[in-house]
Amino acid sequence: MFAVLAKKNYTLLWLGQVVSMIGDWFLVVALPFYIYQLTGSVLQTGIMYIVELLPRVLLGPVVGVFLDRWDKRKIMMITDLLRAVILLLMLLVRSADFIWIIYVVTILQAMMAQLFVPSSMALIPMLVEKEQLIGANALSSFSESVTRLIGPPLGGAMLALLGLNGVVIADSVTYLFSACCIMLMAVQSTSKGQEAVVASGNALKRLWSELLEGLVAIKQSKVVVGIFVIMGIMMVGQGLMNVMLVPFIEQMLHADAMAFSWLLTAQGAGTLLGALLVSTLTKKVKPVILVSLGLISTGCTMLLLAFFPNLWLALGAIAIIGVLLAGCMVSIQTLLQISVDERYRGRVFSSFETIISLTMLVGLLASSGIGDRVGPAPLIAANGALTVIAALVSLWLLRSARFSEEATLSGAKVVPVVE
């Protein structure tokens, strides 16, 4: 796993992402509590999550076309610089009357993320050897787990000591650091086919044609279609729960923002261990097992917490599912990367982000509309049930992809069946 750090360009990308993810966790903890305490409304908190998803839903497939044309390193550097500046607008928030500023910043940040995340996912296979891809994704999972351990407690403490302004400034600085790391990368330009773009005919027709090419690339791989369906089901449930996290902690666990940060830290500890194990597991365990095991453990834990809310139970259970989810998510990301030709990765990964966002939006809208009336328990239980369903569906859809006998997730010969 750590061998990929010998690749200078990957190391620079990794280092910048580690620092910026720590800053992101500051806001993940601070913003929901800040809005809920400022307004006392589940709906207002839900609006933040909803507006965050809108750019991904509306722009995702179209953005993917341009990502496959443009230089991905430059896209990532520019978007990080823009995110650092945009985030500072939150310093203007002084009361509930200024809550709209948070929503505007959230939309703009989501637009930048819609450019950055698919670019990053598409660029990684170009920075490491194919046989190192599992190690690179495992290291990313490991690093995210470390930041989950560090970021939430710091974010909770920073919110308590310095308020939202301190959290915002700290996160902005981390984006600047990430942009500097990306600037130092020496990567061959990925802006392929630009001459053809300029020379060809009608721009709108060309855009539509390239968009359809991306959709065909998705349809041709049973692995990719299966992952889209599985994650779609799971993210509806995630949307139901996201809005109810703060009410769940305050009303059912009778805790505060620090408890929220410790829950995130417990999950981070679990995924940290899982990331250390995943490179070994992928050589012995089929991807379908890793995916389904991670999902079913998550779903059952949510069902347990919905009916037996207890902070200590939650901490232990979430740490355990963190271990299993690491294998699940590394498997999904690697399967996507190796199942899609480099020419179409920007479009496929953007579409993946769109599917995740659209299905999560369904859950968020439902939860925001009825959350104040029904309370957190039924919606958390619904999240658990949907995640279990996603696990069962994964056993069918990913198995039907029929990997070749010699193929393993850790090797270079993973061959999904293409219809």
Distance CA 12, CA 234 (A): 32
Tally helices (H) and strands (E) across the chain: 14, 0
Domain 2-186+201-401 has CATH 3.40.50.720: no
The segment with the largest mean pLDDT, out of 71-85, 155-169, 388-402, is 71-85
Sign, CA torsion 247/251/257/260: negative
DSSP string for 44-90 = HHHHHHHHHHHHHHHHHHHHHHHHTTS-HHHHHHHHHHHHHHHHGGG
Residue 413 CA to residue 34 CA, distance in Å, equals 49
Q: How far apart are CA 334 and CA 344, in angstroms?
A: 15
pLDDT at 289: 82
**Running DSSP on this structure, what letter comes out for residue 418?**
B
Residue 169 has pLDDT above 80, yes or no: yes
Q: Which of 221, 233, 259 is nearest to 402 (CA)?
A: 221
Which residues contact residue 93 at a Cβ distance below 8 angstroms, ignoring those fewer than 6 apart?
99, 101, 102, 164
pLDDT-based confidence at residue 229 (cuts at 50, 70, 90): very high
* Percent of the chain whose pLDDT exceeds 70: 86
Task: Give the residue-averaged pLDDT of 206-233.
Answer: 79
Q: Are 131 and 411 in contact (CB under 8 A)?
A: yes
Q: Which two tokens stand for residue 375?
A: 């309370």
Helix segments in 184-202, DSSP class H? 194-199
The Cα 84–Cα 170 span in angstroms is 10
Q: Considering all CA atoms of the chain, what is the largest pairwise distance in Å, rounded to the nearest integer?
A: 63
**pLDDT bracket for residue 403 (50, 70, 90):** very low
Q: What pLDDT, on a 0 to 100 scale, did the predictor assign at position 121? A: 79
Report the share of the chain in percent with pLDDT over 90. 19
CA-based nearest residue to 32, from 217, 123, 156, 126: 156
| pLDDT band at residue 189 under the 50/70/90 scheme | low
Look at residue 64 and tell me whether its pLDDT is greater than 80. Answer: no
Residue 355 phi/psi, 5-degree rounding, is: -60, -45
Higher pLDDT: 321 or 359? It is 359
Residue 381: per-residue pLDDT: 93
pLDDT range class, residue 131, cuts 50, 70, 90: confident
What's the rounded mean pLDDT across residues 340-360?
Answer: 79
d(CA 270, CA 282): 17
**What mean pLDDT, rounded, does the chain reach?**
80
Q: What is the mean pLDDT of residues 306-324?
A: 85
Q: What pLDDT is stored for residue 118 in this prediction?
A: 79
pLDDT of amino acid 278: 74
Other beta carbons within 10 angstroms of residue 374's beta carbon come to: 13
Looking at residue 219, its pLDDT comes to: 79
- Model confidence band, residue 180 (pLDDT cutoffs 50, 70, 90): very high
pLDDT at position 49, please? 77
Instruction: State yes or no: pLDDT of 65 exceeds 80.
Output: no
Q: Is 92 exposed, middle or buried (0-12, 13-18, 19+ CB in 10 A)?
A: exposed
| Statement: residue 301 has pLDDT above 70 | yes
SS3 221: strand
List the one residue out of 148, 112, 117 whose CA is nearest residue 351. Answer: 117
Q: In this predicted structure, what is the pLDDT of residue 406?
A: 36
Does the structure show a pLDDT above 50 at 407?
A: no
Cut 0.75: pTM above it: no
pLDDT score at 303: 92
- Looking at this protein, which amino acid is placed at residue 222? K
Residue 400 or residue 253, greater confidence: 253
Is the CB of residue 41 less than 8 Å from the CB of residue 112?
no
3-state secondary structure of 261: helix
Task: Name which of 342, 57, 55, 400 is nearest 214 in CA terms.
Answer: 342
Mean pLDDT of 407-417: 33
Residues 73-78: contacts with CB within 8 Å, 24+ apart? Answer: 73/123, 73/182, 73/185, 73/187, 73/189, 73/190, 75/115, 75/116, 75/119, 76/115, 76/116, 76/119, 76/120, 76/123, 76/182, 77/179, 77/182, 77/183
Q: Which two tokens stand for residue 384?
A: 């658990």
Can you give the length of the chain in residues? Answer: 419
Q: How far apart are CA 208 and CA 224, in angstroms?
A: 21
Q: Which two tokens stand for residue 306?
A: 């919905």
pLDDT at residue 417, rounded to an integer:
28
- Mean pLDDT over 356-377 rounds to 85
Cα–Cα dist 243/219, whole Å: 33
